[in-house]
Each structure stands twice: as C-alpha cells, then as structure tokens.
Amino acid sequence: MSGALGSIRGHPQARGIARSPAQSFRCVNAMTAYSASSVCGPVNQVTVVGAGNVGSTLAQRLLERNLANVVLVDIVDGRPQGVAIDLGQAAGCEGHNRTIVGTNDYRDTANSDIVVITAGLPRRPGMTRDDLTQVNGKIVINTLRQALALSPQASVIVVTNPLDVMTYLAWKASDLPPHRVMGMAGVLDSARFQTFVAWELGVPPRDVSAMVLGGHGDLMVPLPSYTTVNGIPVAELLPADRLQALIDRTRNGGAEIVQLLKQGGAYYAPASSACVMVESMLLNQRRILPLAAHLTGQYGLDGLYLGVPCRLGQGGVEDILELSLTPAEQAALERSAASVKEQLPQALALLDS
C-alpha cells in the first residue's frame, strides 16, 4: 500500500504528514495506482473545491474519463469523504483507474495541476445579486488562497456564481497571471444553445456548433451568426421567430431548471462543461472554447472577465479570439460587460475586509 501511495504525486502521507482517517478518505488500491502511474506516465491531479452537486458531479466526470486523480474538498465534515467513497466504489464498474480523496484539509490538495472552485451558494429566493456576491466572494477568496498556497503552479477554473465577478475576484485574490485564471459559463451557455437547436431540428447535438459570448446571466449574447449545423448557418434552417425563441430559452437556461427542480440548480451540464475545460488543458487539446477571460482591450473592453472565445491549452488561456460582430451584437456585449463591471467594486472590497 505504501508503494501505491508513494506513486501518487504530492500525497501528504508520502511526505510524512499525518492524517486522521476522519479528515480524508483516499479510495485507491495498489493495482490501480500502479497502472495509473506506470502505464500512462505521471497522472495529473485536479482539486475540486466544493463537494456539492456541481463539484461531486465534476469529480465523477473527471474520474470516468480517466483524466486525473481528484481531490474533493469541502467545509462540511463527512460530505467529501462520503462522496469519495461512493465514487471510488464505482471505479470497477466504470473501468477507470483514477483515485479520489475526499477531505476537509487543504494539505491533501497539494501539487494539483488545476483547481476548480465550485464552493458557494446558488442564489436563493429573497437573495439579491449583491447578497450572493458578499457570501460567495468570501468563500472564493478563502478557498482559493488555501488551495493555491499548496499548488502555486495550478491553473484555476471558477464555477461559483456570479461567475464573471467571482472570476475577476479570484484572479485578484490569487496573484496569478490572468491566463491561468478563467471562469466556466460560455461552454455551458453554448451547450444549452446547441441542445435547443438540435432538439428543434431533430439532429444530433454533436452536429450543432453554437457560440454564446458575454456574462453568465440574462444579458449573455448568443450568436446565431456563429452557430451552425454541420457548417450550415442556423438562420438558414430555422425561421427567425423560432430562432429567437431558442435564444431566449438559452438566456433563461439556468432559471428554467431552477424553477422545475424547486431546490438547487443545474449541475449535470455545468459539470460536463467544466470537465471539457479541464480536459482541454490537461491533454493540451488547445480547443477554442467560450470562457470568462481577462479582457485588456479585446472587443473594445477592458478591466473585467467576460465570456469570449479562447484557445485553451496546457498553460491556460493561450489566445483570445476576436470575432467580427454586428453592431447589435457588439452593443449587447457592451451591455453585458457594463452589468458585470457594475458589480466589481463591491466584490473587490472583500479583498480588504
């Protein structure tokens, strides 16, 4: 067993740090650890902060795609440990050979390649946008600093809402270069648009390529001119009123699910979307994906994080692509940016509190 643990980069026990069984649970056996490290080369490690719906589903996706060993950390004692045991027990059925640790102790997260922040509350009835910024802002600053202290080389993906504001705050709290801090929303919003188009046309979702820019909220900017079905612009396949209905449904995509679930929000597609971003970085796929990136003049905008198409590789955001937009699309993007910017001072004040 000690050989198995020693073969995993950064394991605290391998470095002589004592850990009580209640603090963390590592689901690993000698065979899986041996095959993971000796057959495939070094195994990446991803820390997922927040073992709630999005975090635990993301952990599941990462394991089942054999992408990385996962450390799942949460403030609630027992929750990440329980999820880790449960996911670990699925390994044989799913046929993957990655490991998962559930913990309340950041020392278990040391030397992670990527840190994904999903900790925080979803917006609840009666909560203003500012209330959510206050609560989640403190959580993002606190959890990110603890994680990065032990994984200073990591890149960061923020999932916690309000997304574009939390991503900017995370960058400010981290001292990392901006290309290593990014937010997940555009992949999800584009996946929703893609799905609605596919359902409407009765084609497989993989035949549809969709693009949504802007902030993660009702001011997001779906781009029909960059949405195609196997190369055919969607506007040639759908009448304008149907296309507009799909755009509206995309903008309302999160709220539609919240309304149906009555408690909590979407998490399967959000977890899949974050997983796509992790995969593009870990496998250096250099995919072009819409994500919240730091803008320094692109699209005429600066001083914020906002959803734009980026090339995403091993080192993080390699390029921001500037699409040519119609005047109406550009104006919509500027409205979305203004709404995000308006919330930044309140969030940044948390850094001094």
Ligand X SMILES: NC(=O)c1ccc[n+]([C@@H]2O[C@H](COP(=O)([O-])OP(=O)(O)OC[C@H]3O[C@@H](n4cnc5c(N)ncnc54)[C@H](O)[C@@H]3O)[C@@H](O)[C@H]2O)c1
Tell which one of 11, 26, 61, 79 touches ligand X (CB under 6 A).
79
Tell which one of 71, 148, 163, 333 touches ligand X (CB under 6 A).
163
CA of residue 83 relative to chain centroid, distance: 19
Task: Tell which phi-psi region holds residue 320, choosing left (phi > 0), alpha (psi between -120 and 50) or beta.
Answer: beta
**Cβ neighbour number for residue 206 with a 10 Å cutoff:** 9
Check binding of 101 to ligand X (CB under 6 A): no
For residue 155, give the DSSP letter.
E
Tell which one of 52, 88, 214, 224 touches ligand X (CB under 6 A).
52
Q: Give the interface size with ligand X as a residue count (CB under 6 A).
A: 33
* Dihedral angle of Cα 223, 224, 227, 232, to the nearest 10 degrees: -160
What is the set of active-site residues? 216
CB contact at 8 A, 251 and 222: yes
Q: Segment contacting ligand X (CB under 6 A): 30-38, 71-79, 240-248, 326-334?
A: 71-79
Check binding of 154 to ligand X (CB under 6 A): no
Check binding of 185 to ligand X (CB under 6 A): yes
Question: Rounded to an integer, what distance in angstroms lies between the CA atom of residue 327 and that of residue 100?
Answer: 48
- Interface positions, 3-22, toward ligand X (CB under 6 A): none
* Alpha helix stretches (DSSP H) within 2-52: 2-6, 30-38
Tokens matching residue 15:
């470095």
Smallest gap from Cβ 103 to ligand X, in A, equals 10
Tokens matching residue 35:
């095959």
Tell which one of 33, 119, 281, 295 touches ligand X (CB under 6 A).
119
Window 292-331: contact mask with ligand X (x via CB under 6 A):
----------------------------------------
Residue 303 phi, psi dihedral angles, 5° rounding: 75, 30
CA of residue 303 relative to chain centroid, distance: 21
CB-count burial class (<10 Å; 0-12, 13-18, 19+) for 126: exposed
Residue 282 phi, psi dihedral angles, 5° rounding: -65, -35
Check binding of 216 to ligand X (CB under 6 A): yes
Window 245-274: contact mask with ligand X (x via CB under 6 A):
-------------------xxxx--x----
CB contact at 8 A, 313 and 284: yes
Smallest gap from Cβ 255 to ligand X, in A, equals 12
Question: Rounded to an integer, what distance in angstroms lies between the CA atom of residue 336 and that of residue 306?
Answer: 9
Q: From 194, 146, 213, select the one nearest 173 (Cα to Cα).
A: 146
Rank residues 11 and 79 by Cβ distance to ligand X and give the closer one: 79
**Helices 253-261/186-201 angle, 10° precision:** 80
Tell which one of 120, 178, 214, 217 touches ligand X (CB under 6 A).
120
Check binding of 174 to ligand X (CB under 6 A): no
Tell which one of 32, 37, 53, 99 touches ligand X (CB under 6 A).
53
Smallest gap from Cβ 227 to ligand X, in A, equals 19
Smallest gap from Cβ 277 to ligand X, in A, equals 11
Q: In this chain, which residue has its C-beta nearest to ligand X?
A: 52
Check binding of 336 to ligand X (CB under 6 A): no
Rank residues 36 and 58 by Cβ distance to ligand X and give the closer one: 58
Residues that bind ligand X (CB under 6 A): 49-55, 74-76, 79, 118-122, 136, 139, 142-143, 159-161, 163, 184-185, 188, 216, 264-267, 270
